[in-house]
Amino acid sequence: MKILLVEDDDVTRKYVLDGLRGAGHVVDDATDGIDGLTLALRASYDAAILDRMLPGMDGLSMLKAMRGANVQTPVLFLTAVSGVDDRVEGLEAGADDYLTKPFAFSELSARLGAISRRPTQVVEQTRLTVADLEMDLVRRSVTRAGQPIELLTKEFQLLEYFMRSEGRVLSRTMLLEQVWDFHFDPQTTVVETHISRLRAKIDKPFETELLHTIKNVGYTLRV
């Protein structure tokens, strides 16, 4: 596993690092909450071990910032704070388990294995945004600069694919496969026709163009 360890006590950190690396895990470590949060947001980890009391940013604040940024890495609090209220507060903030100091490394290892096997909750995206263009996937509605835009079903599906692929150049073949489920070229102008209709609705009434043609390559949605 790839594990993040955030612990400011040198003796404890070395003990845990040696044990985890000796067991074959890859471990990144930090000694304060700010550096730990930077690592948690920048890289992907199978599990994280956080001390509750940390300089710079305490472990609870770090965990809340991770969950606020939709980082769902399983988290084990390793701490000397052992009160019931403290444990409840940590669990309610999004921690997966709690282990109080002093501890046995074998128990730490077993708890890490348990939380890393739990299914990670996937937060379904319900709103897409590119500049001032917004799509509500629940209400199936589109607005630009606050103005409602009426789209037909295929126009909506086409725009959704563009918005999910913001900045990527999408070829005609990719659009046919993803929007029309054609795995061959039907030799029609269906893509060009829908692109033209979409432009007329999301671009022409507004000052800034979002849907661009990349000559001889395809199309892209970007500012």
Is pLDDT above 70 for 119?
A: no
pLDDT at 101: 87
Number of residues that this document lists for the chain: 223
Is pLDDT above 60 for 120?
A: no
Mean pLDDT, rounded, for 89-111: 88
Pairing mode of beta strands 141-144, 218-221: unpaired
Which pLDDT band, with edges at 50, 70 and 90, does 121 fall under?
low
Pairing mode of beta strands 2-6, 211-214: unpaired
Mean pLDDT, rounded, for 54-83: 87
Which pLDDT band, with edges at 50, 70 and 90, does 13 fall under?
very high
Cα 134 from Cα 123, distance rounded (Å):
19
Mean pLDDT, rounded, for 165-172: 92
Is pLDDT above 90 for 84?
A: no
Query: Which is nearest to 115 in space by CA: 88, 101, 94?
Result: 94
Query: Which is nearest to 2 in space by CA: 15, 22, 21?
Result: 21
Pairing mode of beta strands 47-50, 2-6: parallel
pLDDT at 100: 87
pLDDT at 171: 93
Phi, psi of 25, deg, nearest 5: -85, 155
Domains, the chain, in order of start with CATH, read 2-117 (3.40.50.2300), 127-221 (1.10.10.10)
The pLDDT mean for the chain works out to: 90
For the segment 31-67, what is each residue's pLDDT rounded down to a tens digit?
999 999 999 998 889 999 999 889 999 999 999 999 8
Between 92 and 149, the more confident residue is 149
